[in-house]
Amino acid sequence: MRTYISCCLILGLLSVSSASAQKYEGLAPTPPMGWNSWNTFEVGIDEKLIRETADALIANGMRDAGYTYVVIDDGWETKERDPQGNLVPDPQKFPSGLKALGDYLHARGFKFGVHNCAGNTTCAGFPGGRGHEFQDARNYASWGVDYIKYDWCDHGTANAEETFKTMGNALRAAGRPIVFSICEWGNNTPWLWGKTVGHLWRTTGDVIDCYRCQTVYSLGWKHILDAQVGLEQHAGPDHWNDPDMLEVGNPGLTPAESRAQFSLWSMLAAPLMAGNDVRSMSDEIRGILTNKEVIAVDQDPLGKQGYQFMRHPSKEIWVKELSNGDWAVCFHNSGENPLEIRVNWTHLPFLRGHFKIRDLWKGQDIGKTDVGFTAQIASHDVVLLRLSPIGE
Ligand code: GLA
């Protein structure tokens, strides 16, 4: 009898675990980096644009700086599935098909990402994945897809956690390691259940290229930054909060606002998905996106998301623990006027001992924490420092 009961228990446990397969582990030990078509091109995408973008990412140094995922967002599909129920790449936009595009990217050292949606239709009105999850996942695997961003429009009364789990299980069953990016805009606290389902989850609605504006669907990046406070406890290697993509270099941001978004997204250990036209950016923007010392803050192997240490009406301090006892400290002027900051390092109690200080945007060592630090910060700009211990 006892043997029978324990057999049943084991079988029961096995069936539970096969019903909710675990995600592929280890695909995103640090936050994914790459480029996504949506912020600049929306549905105006085609294979020529994607190939030219990949070529530009190589020529401008971004691929080698870590931007390896090239993600095609909404609008690559035909408006209807084929008679067998398959999603079909639009033959006008992608005449060579997605497998050929994936091959082009893989041959150049990139990984290949696509977007679709957990609802009946995507936000741009193309067929969504609901009810087709396993079929779609098999197609993605056969096209060589490495990353799927899965959206949440037109979901009706579906339960978010269960719906994303279904797609996670489908991806697992398709047998190809695919990064699963959950994009339900933070509506259903994905930071509480996303860790076993996907590798990253959006925490808010969509970013747009402004500092503090707001529309019905979209938010300037400062609003998104404000919404990240307190979420740091939920992120870590292979399970990241995603405060949406970069607007760095897009027309609605000043260079200071681009530099500040890049700095603060790095403090957040956010996925760094460029969203500008990298075929035609200025040297200044290229310099922001490829600053290796700032990227190293984002990609630090400790995998700890930074947190807001202090906030006043026009200034904020964000801090991030890094490996080897280092810390990143980011001062942000959120006001409309220039700001002078004066820092007494003893007021940052997490700093134990003495540190040397490096200014990551100047690319210079600027002293030690045994004396105070003073800096001028322009409106909406940052000063970003890396502190490294030098013993007692
Ligand atoms: C949603 C997502 C965006 C983008 C669009 C595409 O709004 O949050 O990031 O993928 O859909 O329609």
Residues 73-89: what's their mean pLDDT? 98
Within its chain, how far is the Cα of 279 from the centroid? 21
C-alpha–C-alpha distance, residues 148 and 1, integer Å = 47
C-alpha–C-alpha distance, residues 314 and 339, integer Å = 8
pLDDT of residue 21: 59
Nearest 10 degrees: CA dihedral of 385, 387, 388, 390? 130
Residues 44-48: what's their mean pLDDT? 98
Q: Is the CB of 73 under 6 A from ligand 1?
A: yes
Pick the CATH number of 19-298 from 3.20.20.70, 3.20.20.30, 3.40.630.30, 3.40.190.10: 3.20.20.70
Q: Is the CB of 208 under 6 A from ligand 1?
A: no
Residues 162-186: what's their mean pLDDT? 98
The CA 234 to ligand 1 mean position distance, Å, reads 23
Q: Which amino acid is at 230?
A: G
Choosing from 46, 146, 151, 209, the catalytic residue is 151
pLDDT of residue 392: 60
C-alpha–C-alpha distance, residues 118 and 128, integer Å = 6
According to DSSP, the residues that pair with 331 across neighbouring strands are 317, 383
Annotated active-site residue 151? The verdict is yes
pLDDT of residue 5: 42
Residues 272 and 295 sit within 8 Å (Cβ to Cβ): yes
The CA 385 to ligand 1 mean position distance, Å, reads 33
C-alpha–C-alpha distance, residues 380 and 301, integer Å = 29
Q: Is the CB of 206 under 6 A from ligand 1?
A: yes
pLDDT of residue 2: 42
pLDDT of residue 8: 41
Residues 113-126: what's their mean pLDDT? 98
Q: Mean pLDDT across the chain, nearest whole number?
A: 95
Residues 279 and 52 sit within 8 Å (Cβ to Cβ): yes
Higher pLDDT, 221 or 217: 221
Q: Is the pLDDT of residue 238 over 60?
A: yes
C-alpha–C-alpha distance, residues 201 and 305, integer Å = 14
Q: Is the CB of 124 under 6 A from ligand 1?
A: yes
Task: Report the residue among 40, 43, 74, 152 best suited for mutation to probe ligand 1: largest number of ligand atoms under 8 A from its CB.
Answer: 74
Residue with CA closest to ligand 1 atom 12:
123
Q: Is the pLDDT of residue 356 over 90?
A: yes
Q: Is the CB of 183 under 6 A from ligand 1?
A: yes
The CA 220 to ligand 1 mean position distance, Å, reads 15
Residue with CA closest to ligand 1 atom 8:
206
pLDDT of residue 391: 73
Q: Which amino acid is at 127?
A: P
Per-residue tokens: 209? 């290229």
According to DSSP, the residues that pair with 385 across neighbouring strands are 329, 359
Residue with tokens 């700009």: 381
Q: Is the CB of 348 under 6 A from ligand 1?
A: no
CA distances from 14 to 3, 168, 362 (A): 16, 18, 56
pLDDT of residue 226: 98
- Model confidence at 255, pLDDT cuts 50, 70, 90, reads very high
Q: Is the CB of 123 under 6 A from ligand 1?
A: yes
CA distances from 356 to 331, 362, 377 (A): 17, 15, 21
Residues 116 and 151 sit within 8 Å (Cβ to Cβ): yes
Query: What residue segments make up the domains of the chain, in order of their start?
Result: 19-298, 307-389
pLDDT of residue 22: 84
Using DSSP bridges, classify how beta strands 382-389 and 373-377 pair: parallel, antiparallel or unpaired.
unpaired
Q: Is the pLDDT of residue 308 over 70?
A: yes
C-alpha–C-alpha distance, residues 264 and 305, integer Å = 11
Residues 266-275: what's their mean pLDDT? 99
Residues 288-314: what's their mean pLDDT? 98
Alpha helices in 60-123 (DSSP H): 62-65, 97-107
C-alpha–C-alpha distance, residues 112 and 142, integer Å = 12
Residues 222-228: what's their mean pLDDT? 98
Residues 93 and 47 sit within 8 Å (Cβ to Cβ): yes
Give Cβ neighbours of residue 205 (< 8 Å, ≥ 6 apart).
185, 186, 217, 218, 219
pLDDT, tens only, 1-30: 344 444 444 444 443 344 455 899 999 999
What top-level class would CATH report for the domain 307-389?
Answer: mainly beta
Residue with CA closest to ligand 1 atom 5:
123
Read off the DSSP letter of residue 236: B
Nearest 10 degrees: CA dihedral of 271, 275, 276, 279? 80
Residues 186-191: what's their mean pLDDT? 98
Q: Is the CB of 74 under 6 A from ligand 1?
A: yes
pLDDT of residue 20: 54
pLDDT of residue 17: 41
Within its chain, how far is the Cα of 202 from the centroid? 8
- The answer to whether domain 19-298 and domain 307-389 are alike in fold is no
C-alpha–C-alpha distance, residues 184 and 197, integer Å = 13
The CA 204 to ligand 1 mean position distance, Å, reads 11
Q: Is the pLDDT of residue 239 over 80?
A: yes
Q: What atom of ligand 1 comes closest to residue 149's alpha carbon?
A: 10
Residue with CA closest to ligand 1 atom 6:
74
Read off the DSSP letter of residue 120: S
- Model confidence at 262, pLDDT cuts 50, 70, 90, reads very high
Express as a percent the part of the chain with pLDDT over 90.
93
Give Cβ neighbours of residue 93 (< 8 Å, ≥ 6 apart).
45, 46, 47, 75, 76
